[in-house]
Amino acid sequence: MISIIFGFFGGKIQEVSAAAMEEPLHAAELSLKLLGSLCFWSGIMEVAKQSGIVDLLCRLLKPLLLFVFPALRNEEKALGAISMNLSANLLGLGNAATPLGIAAMRELHKISGFSSAATKEMVCFVVMNTASLQLLPTTVAALRLENGAERPFDILPAVWLVSACSLCIGIAAAKLFYPKGEKE
């Protein structure tokens, strides 16, 4: 948070103070917005869990997930939540991915014994979510179409390549940067 101070050197104190007044409002707005979708998608998640869809998805994605999260081998619940979040991300359901991701974080939190420090799995999972996994970037395509691109989806192979590579790099970095010898 020290980094905020550096705004004062740029002579933009006014903007910074305006941000200090407005951003808490945005935060409240955002969590209100999240409130609805969190309730809805947590409900859907529960239904999917009870009916066995999560197990199905989980079995499908498990080989991949265990490669990234070897420590979760016996944590069915966490793996299930992560698979749901991953699927929502792939389908481009940003609104669904966040609540499902939070559910996954809670499972990981439980496993860590409610520690206040992030575990290796949490870091990897968050990094996974900061790299876009979306198969069809619809917003980008819509904007391109609107502005006269003939084939708005012709960038897809490049997008996939970039997503996949940056995801791998992110996960590698997460494992590499994780402080050693701080296992709880």
Q: Which of residues 84-113 bind other proteins (CB under 8 A)?
A: 91-93, 96, 98-99, 101-103, 105-106, 108-109
80 interacts with other proteins by CB under 8 A:
no
Binding mask 154-173 for other proteins (x = CB under 8 A): xx-xxx-xxx-xxx-xx--x
Pick out residues in 22-61 that bind other proteins (CB under 8 A): 22-24, 26-28, 30-31, 34-35, 38-53
d(CA 11, CA 15): 9
- Considering only residues 62, 75, 76, 132, which one is a binding residue for other proteins as defined by CB under 8 A? 132
What's at 133, amino acid-wise?
L
20 interacts with other proteins by CB under 8 A:
yes
Q: Is residue 168 within 8 Å of residue 176, measured between CB atoms?
A: no
Q: Is residue 86 within 8 Å of residue 122, measured between CB atoms?
A: no
63 vs 176, beta carbon nearer other proteins = 176
Q: How far is the CB of 66 from other proteins (least distance, A)?
A: 20
Task: Report the half-sphere exposure of 174 (CA within 13 A, side-chain side).
Answer: 22
Among the listed ranges 11-19, 60-68, 70-78, the one in contact with other proteins (CB under 8 A) is 11-19
Which tokens sit at 6? 């550096």
- Considering only residues 74, 113, 177, 183, which one is a binding residue for other proteins as defined by CB under 8 A? 177
Q: How many residues bind other proteins (CB under 8 A)?
A: 101
Closest CA relative to residue 112, chosen from 172, 72, 170, 63: 72
First to last CA, the chain: 26
Q: Is residue 108 within 8 Å of residue 119, measured between CB atoms?
A: yes
179 interacts with other proteins by CB under 8 A:
yes
